[in-house]
Amino acid sequence: MHQVVVSGLGPAGATLLYELASRGYDVVGLERERFPRYKSCGGCISTKIDSIEGLDIEHLVETPVYGATFSYKQSRYVEILSSEPVAYNVKRDLFDNYLVERAKEAGAMVVEGCKVEDIVEESDHIKVICHGGRSFRAGFFACADGAGSLVARKHFSLNPKEFGISYTMEIPVDETDTEKLLGNLFIDFGEVPSGYAWIFPKKGHLSVGMAGESRRCRGRLRKDFEKFLKNHSALAGRPLKEKVHGWMLPVYHSDDHPVVKGRALATGDAAHLVDPFLGEGIYYAMASAQAAARAIIEAIEKNATGFGSYREYLKNELYPEFRALAKLAGLVYTHPRLWYRMVEKEPEIMHRYYDVIRGRIRAEEFYRWVVSKVVRKPWKVIRRWLEDKLLRTG
Ligand SMILES: Cc1cc2nc3c(=O)[nH]c(=O)nc-3n(C[C@H](O)[C@H](O)[C@H](O)COP(=O)(O)OP(=O)(O)OC[C@H]3O[C@@H](n4cnc5c(N)ncnc54)[C@H](O)[C@@H]3O)c2cc1C
C-alpha cells in the first residue's frame, strides 16, 4: 500500500513523482517503456520552463531558440528573430530521462516495463491494475500516461475525436551543416488545414514534423507531410530515408473535460492540456503536474478527495490561456493566407507572440490586440469573418 501511484513518466508523471518524493511522500511511478525512450515531439520547450523551480536543464539544452523563419506553403520566407530566447531545443529522450532520474534521486520508486490498464476505487484506496495481472494499491492515483492513456479514455473522457494528429521525422545531418541553423526554427503555414509544419534544428539532426486537427487532416496529412519534406528550402537535397512517426496531440477543447474522479486525477496530455494553437505541451504538463502534486498533498494531509486546488488552478490559470489560444487558432487556421500577409507586413505581431510563448503576455491580451489590428485594416474577408464569429459567440 503506497500513498500515491502515478501512471506514465513523461514530463507530467516524472514531475509529479519528483514533487511528492522530494517532500517525503511514498510514491511509485509506473511506466510502460524503459528509459531513455523515444517520444515523437519537436522538443522545443518555451522559456516558461524557467519558472519551474529546482530544474537544472542547462546541459540538456541543445540550443536556445531566438525565433523562427516563417513560410507560406514553402515560399515567401520571412525570418523573425528576437534578441533573447523564446524557447530551448532539447532531445526528448534525454530530457525525459533526466526528469525520471531526478525523481528517483528524490526517493521515488520507479517500475519500468509496466503498462497500466485500469483503476478500481475501493473503500479507502485505489487499486491500479497492470498488464499481466500485477496490481498496486495506493491512497491516491495520478493518471499521467499521455495521449494513449487507457485509464484517461475510460475514466476522464480523453477524446481522440478532439485530437490533433501528426507525423515527424528525425533527419541526421552533419553537425557543421546544422550550425548555421541553430537558434532558429522553421514554421510553415498553409500547407495543412488547421495546423502547421516545422523544422526544429538540433545539433546533428533536424526534427521535422507536421500536425493538424484530426477531423480536417485525416487521410491527407501524410501526403501533405511528404510534399513539405520535398519542397522546403532547408531540406532541399537531403536524403529523407528516416522512419516517419505518427502520434496524437490531445489539444485543449473544453473546460468541462473531467480531470478528477474520486481518489484519482489526470494531468498533462491525459487531461487534454496541450495548447490548441501551436501544440505546446511540455511546460503545461510540468506546470499542471506541480499543481496536481500540491492538491494530492492537501488530500493526503486532510484525508479528503476533491482536489479543489487543482481544479481551481486549471480554471483560473490554464483554461483562460487555452481558450484564447483556441480563438487564435480559429482565426489563423481559417485564414492562413491573410494571417501570413499580416505577419509578413508587421513582424511586430510575431515579436509580441514570442512574449506570449515566454509567458510575459496573456494569450487573451494578444488575441484582442490582433483582432483590433484586423478590424482597423481593409481586409474585408477577414473582417467579415470576424463579425460573423463575434455575432455567433455573442
Ligand atoms: C509531433 C509532436 C510534436 C510536439 N512538439 C512539442 C514541442 O516542440 N514542444 C512542446 O512543448 N510540446 C510538444 N508536443 C507536445 C508534448 O510532446 C506533450 O504535450 C508532452 O509530452 C506531454 O507530456 P506528458 O507527460 O503528459 O505525456 P507523455 O510525454 O506522452 O508521457 C506519457 C508517458 O506515459 C507512458 N505510458 C503510456 N501509456 C502507458 C500505460 N498504459 N501505462 C504506463 N505508462 C504509459 C508513455 O510511455 C510515456 O512515457 C508535441 C507533440 C507531438 C505529438
Tens-place pLDDT, residues 94-141 = 999 999 999 999 999 999 999 999 999 998 999 999 999 999 999 999
H/E segment holding residue 119: strand 116-122
Alpha helices per DSSP H over 70-174: 92-105, 150-155
Domain 2-38+92-159+252-306 has CATH 3.20.20.70: no
Q: What is the mean pLDDT of residues 264-270?
A: 98
Question: Ligand 1 center to residue 179 CA distance, Å?
Answer: 28
Residues 6 or more apart whose Cβ sits within 8 Å of residue 362: 320, 321, 324, 356
**Ligand 1 pocket, residues with Cβ under 6 angstroms:** 7-13, 30-33, 39-45, 115-116, 144-150, 166, 168, 209, 211, 247, 249, 268-269, 274, 279-283, 285
Which atom of ligand 1 is the closest one to the Cα of 46?
A: 11
pLDDT band at residue 166, thresholds of 50, 70 and 90?
very high
The C-alpha torsion from 49 through 55 and 58 to 61, rounded to 10°, is -50
Cell of 58: 542547462
Cell of 380: 474585408
What are the domain boundaries of the chain?
A: 2-38+92-159+252-306, 44-90+164-249, 327-393
Question: Ligand 1 center to residue 131 CA distance, Å?
Answer: 20
Which atom of ligand 1 is the closest one to the Cα of 115?
A: 42
Mean pLDDT of the residues in the chain: 92
What does the pLDDT read at residue 326? 96
What does the pLDDT read at residue 382? 63
Q: Which of 31, 170, 273 for a ligand 1 pocket mutation test, highest count of atoms within 8 Å of Cβ?
A: 31
Q: Which of 15, 38, 39 for a ligand 1 pocket mutation test, highest count of atoms within 8 Å of Cβ?
A: 39
> What Å distances lie between residue 46 and 61, 78, 151, 357, 391, CA to CA?
12, 21, 29, 6, 34
Q: What is the pLDDT of residues 275-291, one digit of tens each?
A: 999 999 999 999 999 99
**Per-position b or e across 263-278, b if 16+ CB within 10 A of its CB:** bbbbbbbbbbbbbbbb
CATH number belonging to domain 44-90+164-249: 3.30.9
Residue with cell 473582417: 383
Which atom of ligand 1 is the closest one to the Cα of 145?
A: 34
Question: Ligand 1 center to residue 279 CA distance, Å?
Answer: 11
In this structure, how many other beta carbons lie within 10 angstroms of the beta carbon of residue 329?
Answer: 22
Given a cut of 80, whether residue 389 has pLDDT beyond it is: no
Q: 1 burial class (0-12, 13-18, 19+ CB within 10 angstroms)?
A: exposed
Question: Ligand 1 center to residue 274 CA distance, Å?
Answer: 10
Which atom of ligand 1 is the closest one to the Cα of 249?
A: 53
Residue count of the chain: 394
316 near 287, Cβ under 8 Å?
no
pLDDT band at residue 238, thresholds of 50, 70 and 90?
confident
Residue with cell 528576437: 82
Q: Which of 99, 166, 269 for a ligand 1 pocket mutation test, highest count of atoms within 8 Å of Cβ?
A: 269
Q: Whose CA is nearest to atom 18 of ligand 1?
A: 281
Closest CA to 199 of 169, 175, 241: 169
H/E segment holding residue 79: strand 75-81
Question: Ligand 1 center to residue 365 CA distance, Å?
Answer: 28
What does the pLDDT read at residue 380? 60
